[in-house]
Each structure stands twice: as structure tokens, then as C-alpha cells.
Chain A
Amino acid sequence: MVDTSQTWMLALDTSNTLASLALGPVGDDTGALGAEIVWNAGRNQTTTILVEVDGLMRLVGITPGQLGAVAVASGPGAFNALRVGMSIAKGFAFSMQIPIFGVGTLDIAAHVVAYAGHPVRAFVEAGRGRIVVGDYRMTNGRLQLRGALDHRTPGELGDGLLEPTVLSGELSETDRQALKEMPNVILPPAAAGRRRASALLDLAAQRWRNDEADDLLALEPMYIHSQPVVAAKPERNP
């Protein structure tokens, strides 16, 4: 049973169509969970996120005044979807004068499967058919990103694995079947490889304990391009 009289951290992940929110106490009960929601927001992040934040707070029985920290998935992902979460997280940090923690989206995807000691290949569908991939390895008991992020197609997600590696991210059933046959691929059940805001809450709570908040003004989403996606054209200026 969590104590609703203490302060709370709100975690928002709007990296792509899969949206997730979580509320957990910070302080004595850090690590506990008040409530969590994961849903397919499609392109409706702007119309749904705050409605669900409100619902989650009612469910837990707290008010915005009880927020003590806010955590947000900082990408990579779909640019506009990321900006919805970032605008809301910054809105809470500014209006309630609380610390903000930006956590990499692939860190969250890797964290949900970080228990078997295996390396992890985390990936996120980043809009326009792009998939951004990062390779993680267990070092000193923590998963650390190795090398640079890159773009792959679903068919290439199992390429170049030299040892048994857990794949974590959203996959279609067809892609799952194809990847399952590849050497060194460990596929967790679909539900276990899905990003969840409680994982974001875990990672941000560690940083909260270490007093490692982000700079509120400088924090922005991580924009990973696969190619020139924006042609510079004079645009209509309203």
C-alpha cells in the first residue's frame, strides 16, 4: 500500500504511437508503483495524454500539487509524438517547480528485459517506417549502450549478433516469426518486450536518488534522422 500523502513522480513516454504513463512515490517508497497505463495513442497524443494523466492522478488519489518530480522519454522516436510528452513534462516541471528527468527511449526498452544478464538489442519504431536500434551490454550490473544508434528494417533486427541477445521493442507477429529463426536471437514474449512507463519511472527514480536532474531549459527530444526528412521550403506563415 503506497502512502498518498508523500510526493510523487509522473512518468510520460510518448515516443511513438505506443503511449504510457506511470505514477510512483518518490522518497521512502521509491520503487513502488501507484498506477500505470499503456495504450495505443495512434496520432492522438495531444488529445489523450493529459486526460489520462488526470485519470491516473484520480485513480491514485493525488493532486498536481503533490507532484515532486516528472520523468519523460526523450527519444529517439517520432518527432511530434516526442514533443507532446516533452511539452507536457516541461509544463509540469515549470508550473510546479519540480525537477525533470529525461530518459532515453531505448534505455527504457532495454530496461524492461534487463534481468537475464544477456546483451540487449533495443529498438523503437520512430515513425515513417523508421526503426532506431541500439545495442546494450551489461557492465557493472547495469545495461550500457555500446556504439552508435542506427536505422534498420524489421528484417535486419537480428543481423550481426555474435552472442545470444535479447531483442526488445514492438514487433508485428510476422516479424516475430521471422526473427525467431535467426541465430543468437532471444525473443521475450510480446508483452515483456513492450516499453512501459514504470520502467521509465525506475530509471528516473535512480537518478532522483542521485540528485541527477536535467536542465529544464536545455532538455529537448533526441532527433535521429535516417535521411534528409525535411526539405527547406518556404512555408506558409500564419
Chain B
Amino acid sequence: MSVLAVAREAYESALPALGASVVGGLLAGVVLGGMQAELRAVPGLLVLVPALLATRGNVYGSLGARLSTGLHQGLVEPRVDLGNRRLRGAMAAALANGLLASAVAAVAVFLILTALGDAVAPVTTLVAVSLVAGLLSGVALTAVVVVVVFAGYRRGRDPDTLVGPVVTTTGDVVGVAFLLLAVRLVLALGGGA
């Protein structure tokens, strides 16, 4: 194939998924743009945003990849069965690792900003916001990934090609939306003081 033919093929096959994730990213941006009051009320939260969003993508993207490999290998059935030990293990591991990484990011941001002498919210506030946001978005993304991978597989689609775009598109929106909810909850409970 000539360079141009390769380029055209690559361009055309990537454009739909990238376009969809642009829409998701813009919606996430709108929510982020609308939460300036919360970002100001919790100094250091803005610094946490990239780590929290990336954790969603890394953890739930890997859950999706694991599930689709499991389907291909016949390790799991494409049914949502919470009695299935493998499925439960994969979901619990994703949630646990997501929460751990979110808490570590919050503590790291607190320590670094404190060392730099920048304004930063109490470490308990940052950790609480990270954990609540991680839990809520984790539950939502687990449900989305499991349903999309299983439903896609049952309809004869290759789950490997579904996971990436679905996680990048929903991960940012769900991540930012639950981050907003989590900050409001924690502030309402008096965590901002």
C-alpha cells in the first residue's frame, strides 16, 4: 500500500471513535467550566483533576480489556451474574484499585502543594472528595463497561474495539459529573473548613 492509501485507511477508521470521544470530552469540559465555585472552595482540586480522570480511563479501560479477553477465552459468560466469582473479582479489583489510586493522588497533591507553599485544602477534604467521586464514578463505569462489553459480544461485535471508545467517551463525563457531586456532598457535610 502507498503512504497515502495507508493514511486514508487509518484516518477513516479512527475518525468516528475519536469524534465520539470529542463530544464526551466537551460535555466533561462544560461541567468542569461550571464548577469554578467548587474548584475555588477546595484549593488543590484542580490539580487533582487530570489524575482522577486518567485513573477512570486506566482502571475501567483495563476492566473492559480483561472482560473481553475473558469472553474470547471462555472464562466468563456474557451474562451479568453477580454470583460469578471471576466477574465479581474483576469488578471488585477495579473498584479497589481505582479508589486506592484516587486516594494516593489526593495525598500526593496535598503534600506537593504544601511543600511548594501553595494554598491547599485540608488533606481529609481532598481524600474524601477523591474517594466519594471514585466510588460513585466507579460503580457507574463498572456498570457501563460490563453492559456494553457483554451486550456487544452477544450481538457479535468484537468487545476489544468497543471498550476503548466507550471508556474514553463516558469516563470523562462520568468522572467530572461525579466529581462535582462529590465536592458538593463533602462541602455540605462541612469538609471545606
A and B associate:
no
